[in-house]
Amino acid sequence: MCGITGFLNLNGAMPPDPGLLIRANDALEHRGPDDAGVFTDGEVGLAMRRLSIIDVARGHQPLSNENDRIFIVFNGEIYNHMELRGVLTGYGHRFKTDSDTETILHAYEQWGIEGCLSRLRGMFAFAIWDSTEHTLFLCRDRMGIKPLYYSEYGGRIYFSSEIRGILIQSGMPRQINMAGVDAFLTVGFVPNPCTIYKGVNKLPAAHFLAARNGAVTIRKYWELSYREGDAADAQELTDEFHHLLEESIRMHLMSEVPLGALLSGGIDSATIAAFAQKALATPLKTISISFDSSHLNEAQAAMETAGALGTDHVPVAFGNDSMDDYPRALYFLEEPLAEPVFVTEYEMHRVCRQNGLKVVLTGEGSDELLAGYHWHRGEIWARPFLRLPFGLRAVIAQGLLLRSHGAGSMAMYRTLREGRREVGEYYRTWLTIGDPRIKERILSREVSSALKSNGQPLLDSWRDYLPAVAGRPRHDQMLWLQSRTRMVDDINHSLDRMSMAHSVEARVPFLDHKLWEFCAAVPFRLKIDGAYFNLTEKYLLRNAVKDIVPEGARMRKKKGLAAPYEAWLARSRLPDWAETVLSDAQIKKVGLFSPKEVKRLRQEHQAGLPDRATLLMGVVALQTWSHLFMG
């Protein structure tokens, strides 16, 4: 695992100060404290910071081929690199290291960039400089597990694992991307390909960028196909899923350094721990986290699962001051997220590192793979009502809202009121972090005017993902949309940054693309099954692990990783850092919000009004981000 950064002159621009590349690389030290390397050749520069996992002794980067004409810097893991190495050796390639980085290099030599990418199984972001072809390639894995940013500025293209690497090298002005702000205040994250910074972009998942002779092109190299699979019976599909999942978890155990797993009380992490413990000769170290809040506390469930599996378990408890590290965690996150789950992840990975772990397996991706979120169940519940007249839908929606003030109920309320819509808009409704009318109310006049004249909103581009699933049922379209949007820009983004903040490599076996290709052809009834009022999500997984996961964890309802921010925000006074960023003076300085309306929003949340907490947390996120990064 590493941090990578670099540049390429596009139009005959003067080479930049080489010291800037070194400074940018040093800024990524937390991603790779074990080693550093820099390569420059006039118009191009490549640099990396290394967290040594595979071939610890000889895996130095940048790495070149035999004749020093092709160079690579790489962040990630290629789990099938030994298999590919055997094939490449048969073609006459000779290796000087045992690293997966060198396997990528030879795969590119043998098959070209698209042939190389089609054969890789793992998580990756890498840059290849081919001096013979005079081409720089930037590549990102299929599921967007590892980050890669780029920017064209001043006649050069810059790239980096983190935005800070681009800003340091380029000297570009720091400007807020207002389209990103608009999207963030709607769904709680900034969707790709944009970032919160104007002029800095994310390379989308499953894409590569080629810069050649001053021209920059971006191409997609992989797309999932949701389709009806073979007419296999449920047991055959369950057995095949079991095999593929076990294979994925076994491959993710590849390591020359201490490895462990995160463990909650639910099925996802229990499955990973169970298969990993089965494959290992010694007890797997597992880490769990708990809060004082009883509805978030899974400590006892995690302990029971660990005891049943025989893992070496470390429980970690956090109290009411668990948000104290919010600014520090946001510094490493670089872009705001509305829900502060990343603070919990930050604490968990800090504990992992303190317990000697350099690699941890975690359960992200299962909900996106097998329809585990509340909106998948909600979509089934809502179907019968969506064709009713608005007045009747409104009455039903209001009744639901009075019954419960949970996030799922608020999303259902909005869904029923808005009725049948285009899939992208429908999915966005489920993700919305607060009442759109309140969002409009809290914005400053200047920002509100700018957004109205900004043209097409960023979230409208989500419809561009839909041709890949045209004609498929709405649930398949929603699964594909979430795998290209929230999963990449929220879930994976947070996991990468919070683990790397503590120099820990987080691995996600549920995001193996072979597993996804299989599940895309599995009937939806095997993802969610049961009667209308008694639906069981992730049905396929629950059946596939009957023989290995303890029954309590196997059938436990999803809670999900969380942070108790609703109660925290309801305090009459927040910690000094939060009161500072929410002060009238700081709000006026940033210029995004109305101080009067932010104060009103706080008062409404403190008074117990629903649908305020996450939007208010989004205000805290943007204000804190501005304080940290915009001066």
Say if residue 544 is in the same domain as residue 572: no
The closest of 300, 237, 224, 203 to 465, measured between CA atoms, is: 224
Are 152 and 292 members of one domain?
A: no
- Which phi and psi (to 5°) does residue 215 adopt? -105, 140
What distance lies between CA 602 and its chain's CA centroid? 29
For 188-309, where are the E strands, in sequence order?
A: 201-202, 207-212, 215-220, 259-262, 285-291
Would you call 414 helix, strand, or coil by DSSP? helix
Q: Which of 534, 555, 576 is the last residue of a domain?
A: 555
Which residues, in sequence order, are bridge partners of residue 156? 9, 153
| pLDDT digits 0-9 by tens, 520-529 | 999 999 999 8
**CATH number for the domain that contains residue 33:** 3.60.20.10
Q: Report d(CA 566, CA 407) in Å as an integer.
A: 11
CB 127 within 8 A of CB 72: yes
Whether residue 159 lies inside any domain: the answer is: yes
> Do residue 100 and residue 29 come from a single domain?
yes
CB atoms within 10 A of CB 593: 21
Domain final residue, candidates 178, 195, 220: 220
pLDDT at 542: 97
Instruction: Report DSSP letters for 332-369, one per residue.
Output: HH-S--SSTHHHHHHHHHHHHHHTT-SEEE--TTHHHH
From start to end of 387-497, where are the E strands?
Answer: none
Asked if residue 425 is part of any domain, the answer here is no
pLDDT value of residue 455: 65
Is residue 204, in this structure, part of any structural domain at all?
yes
Q: Is 92 a member of any domain?
A: yes
**pLDDT recorded at residue 73:** 98
β-partners of residue 531 are 534
Residue pair 139/124 in contact (Cβ under 8 Å)? The answer is yes
CB atoms within 10 A of CB 132: 8
Model confidence, pTM: 0.95
* Domain identity same for 190 and 214: yes
Q: Which residue, 371, 384, 463, is CA-closest to 424?
A: 463
Same domain membership, residue 593 and residue 528:
no
Angle, helices 299-309/267-279, rounded to nearest 10 degrees: 20
Instruction: Give me the pLDDT at residue 152, please.
Output: 96
Same domain, yes or no: 146 and 266: no
Asked if residue 174 and residue 37 are part of one domain, the reply reads yes
Q: Which structural domain, as residue segments, surrounds residue 626? A: 564-631
- For the chain of 631 residues, list the mean pLDDT of each consecutive stretch of 10: 92 81 97 94 93 78 93 97 97 94 97 98 98 97 98 96 97 95 97 97 98 95 82 89 98 93 94 98 92 66 94 83 90 98 94 96 96 87 84 76 58 80 88 94 94 79 90 90 97 98 98 96 90 85 97 83 86 96 98 98 95 96 97 76
Residue 550 lies in a domain: yes
Same domain? For 287 and 177 the reply is no
Give pLDDT tens digits for 150-206.
999 999 999 999 999 999 999 999 999 999 999 999 999 999 999 999 999 999 999
Listed residue (296, 612, 344) closest to 499, CA to CA: 344
Sign of CA dihedral 433, 438, 439, 443: negative
Residue 372 lies in a domain: no
What's residue 197's pLDDT?
A: 98
SS3 579: helix
Whether residues 98 and 145 fall in one domain: yes
Same domain, 334 and 244: yes
**CATH number for the domain harbouring residue 359:** 3.40.50.620
Q: Among residues 514, 527, 422, which one has the least CA distance to residue 477?
A: 422
β partners of residue 217: 210
Nearest 5°: the CA angle 334, 296, 557 is: 110
Contact (Cβ atoms closer than 8 angstroms) between residue 170 and residue 155: no
Residue pair 330/196 in contact (Cβ under 8 Å)? The answer is no
Residue 482 lies in a domain: no
Q: State the pLDDT at residue 453.
A: 75
Please say whether the beta carbons of 342 and 621 come within 8 A: no
What is the number of domains present in the chain? 3
The answer to whether residues 67 and 189 belong to one domain is yes
User: Of 479, 549, 134, nearest to 304 (Cα)?
Assistant: 549
121 falls within a domain: yes
Based on the fold, state whether residues 95 and 239 are members of the same structural domain: no
